[in-house]
């Protein structure tokens, strides 16, 4: 039987510009089947949390303009379970909003907060770790984060350093957070052995996180305290539209996790990827004998090409010849051909195109 005090908050507001051109402002990556499984990333994430908490305790926080996409892809959600942000303000305000709303209806709630667009290969291990973290959070005033054992000195992730004495419950006290380091620093972190990748997945009681907001982000907290009489009523949407602009734009990591002294980390290994770039998608896809990963292979023919990732419309015939280590993506109105080792420039390319061509291709 599921615990009615367990809740999940799925953050689904990002625009996923590194996955351009298939991820666009009107349908970003979390609403796409980028793995070629027949399910979008947000659908996979929602199904994962159904194994952990009751369906009515799962909330999606997204941009108000994506409300209809969430409805379309997860029709079983009630309107009350979709929290629309009028403007993007990073992760702290959306977590404050959702935790205040949940706390009003259940002051004993424990919550897992997770992005909508991550890959988890070992779902049973994921569920075990989240359930354990929820249990510990319900008994202690801890802010828990999940850390992934690093396999390489990656500069695309934040790092968590922990105090190297595991307690009896299997987690560590956090020493420091470091945002994306340069390659030399990342190598030092890996060698030291007491650093984990920051997965951006958090577990806490609403009581503990709201106390942390009051202490470290009082301005944001005050905005949502004022909404107490409106949550779970017909007035909620109007209140959020009026109030959201008063919030500063700040991440939960920077605003609270880096400052609080009751932060604990679970070192986990459940086949995680944040699927942040075409390169990270390439590493988790099946490949042919020469290293090509083709998302929809039915109509793609490769000649003398190796180590490429190809994502095109299943209906379009695509022929690739003589490429090594390239990204080839066709979204219908945009074709991108880019060396994999230059994919970090895609974000800048998107900004340039927006300036030269307007919003049409973005």
| Per-residue confidence band for 320, with pLDDT thresholds at 50, 70 and 90 | very high
The model scores a pTM over 0.85: yes
| Per-residue confidence band for 169, with pLDDT thresholds at 50, 70 and 90 | low
**Mean pLDDT (whole number) for 233-258:** 94
Q: Which pLDDT does position 84 carry in this prediction?
A: 95
Q: Which pLDDT does position 2 carry in this prediction?
A: 65
- 3-class DSSP state of 303: strand
| Per-residue confidence band for 168, with pLDDT thresholds at 50, 70 and 90 | low
Higher pLDDT, 47 or 150: 47
- 3-class DSSP state of 225: helix
CA distances from 62 to 71, 79, 85, 88, 202 (A): 11, 12, 6, 9, 17
Q: Which pLDDT does position 134 carry in this prediction?
A: 96
Percent of the chain exceeding pLDDT 70 equals 98
Q: How many whole angstroms separate alpha carbon 310 and alpha carbon 329?
A: 6
Round the average pLDDT of the chain to a whole number and report it: 92
Does the pLDDT value for residue 309 go beyond 70? yes
Does the pLDDT value for residue 1 go beyond 60? no
Query: Which tokens go with 71?
Result: 């409805």
Q: Which pLDDT does position 118 carry in this prediction?
A: 94
Q: How many whole angstroms separate alpha carbon 241 and alpha carbon 39?
A: 31
Q: Which pLDDT does position 156 carry in this prediction?
A: 80
Determine the Cα angle at 22 with ends 20 and 23, to 5°: 65
- Other C-beta atoms closer than 10 Å to the C-beta of 319 total 10
Q: What is the pLDDT of residues 6-61, one digit of tens each?
A: 999 999 998 888 899 999 999 999 999 988 889 999 999 999 999 999 999 999 99
Domain spans, the chain: 6-273, 286-357
Q: What is the pLDDT of residues 246-276, one digit of tens each?
A: 999 999 999 999 999 999 999 899 999 988 8
| Per-residue confidence band for 319, with pLDDT thresholds at 50, 70 and 90 | very high
Q: How many whole angstroms separate alpha carbon 177 and alpha carbon 157?
A: 11
Task: Supply the DSSP string of 138-168, one letter for each residue.
Answer: HHS--EEEEEEPPSS--TTS-EEEE-S---T
Close Cβ partners of 131 (under 8 Å, ≥ 6 residues apart): 52
- When mean pLDDT is compared across 4-8, 36-40, 127-131, 312-316, the lowest value belongs to 312-316
Query: Which tokens go with 62?
Result: 């997204």
Q: Which pLDDT does position 164 carry in this prediction?
A: 73
Given CATH 3.90.550.10, say whether it is the number of domain 6-273: yes
- When mean pLDDT is compared across 165-179, 219-233, 341-355, the lowest value belongs to 165-179
Task: Supply the DSSP string of 125-136, one letter for each residue.
Answer: HHHHHHHHHHHH
């Amino acid at each position: 039987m599921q615990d009615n005090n367990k809740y999940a908050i799925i953050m689904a507001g990002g625009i996923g510009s590194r996955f351009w051109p298939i991820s666009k402002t009107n349908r970003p990556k979390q609403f796409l089947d980028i793995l070629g499984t027949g399910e979008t990333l947000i659908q996979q994430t929602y199904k994962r949390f159904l194994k952990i908490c009751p369906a009515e305790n799962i909330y999606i926080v997204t941009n108000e303009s994506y409300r209809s996409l969430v409805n379309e892809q997860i029709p079983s959600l009630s309107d009350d379970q979709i929290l629309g942000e009028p403007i993007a303000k990073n992760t702290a305000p959306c977590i404050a909003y959702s935790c205040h709303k949940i706390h009003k209806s259940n002051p004993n709630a424990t919550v897992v907060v997770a992005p909508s667009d991550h890959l988890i290969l070992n779902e049973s291990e994921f569920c075990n770790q989240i359930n354990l973290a929820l249990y510990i959070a319900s008994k202690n005033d801890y802010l828990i984060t999940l850390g992934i054992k690093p396999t390489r000195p990656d500069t695309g992730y934040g790092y968590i350093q922990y105090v190297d004495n595991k307690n009896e419950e299997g987690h560590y006290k956090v020493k420091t957070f470091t945002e994306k380091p340069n390659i030399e620093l990342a190598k030092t972190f890996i060698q030291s052995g007491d650093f984990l990748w920051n997965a951006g997945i958090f577990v806490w009681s609403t009581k503990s996180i709201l106390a942390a907001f009051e202490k470290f982000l009082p301005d944001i907290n005050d905005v949502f305290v004022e909404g107490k009489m409106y949550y779970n009523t017909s007035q909620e949407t109007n209140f959020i539209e009026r109030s959201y602009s008063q919030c500063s734009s700040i991440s939960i990591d920077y605003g609270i996790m880096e400052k609080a002294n009751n932060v604990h980390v679970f070192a986990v290994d459940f086949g995680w990827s944040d699927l942040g770039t075409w390169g990270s998608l390439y590493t988790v896809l099946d490949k042919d004998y020469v290293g090509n990963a083709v998302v929809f292979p039915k109509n793609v023919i490769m000649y003398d090409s190796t180590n490429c990732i190809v994502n095109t419309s299943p209906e379009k015939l695509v022929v690739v010849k003589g490429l090594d280590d390239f990204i080839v993506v066709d979204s219908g109105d945009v074709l991108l051909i880019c060396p994999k080792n230059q994919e970090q420039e895609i974000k800048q390319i998107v900004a340039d195109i927006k300036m030269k061509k307007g919003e049409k291709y973005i």
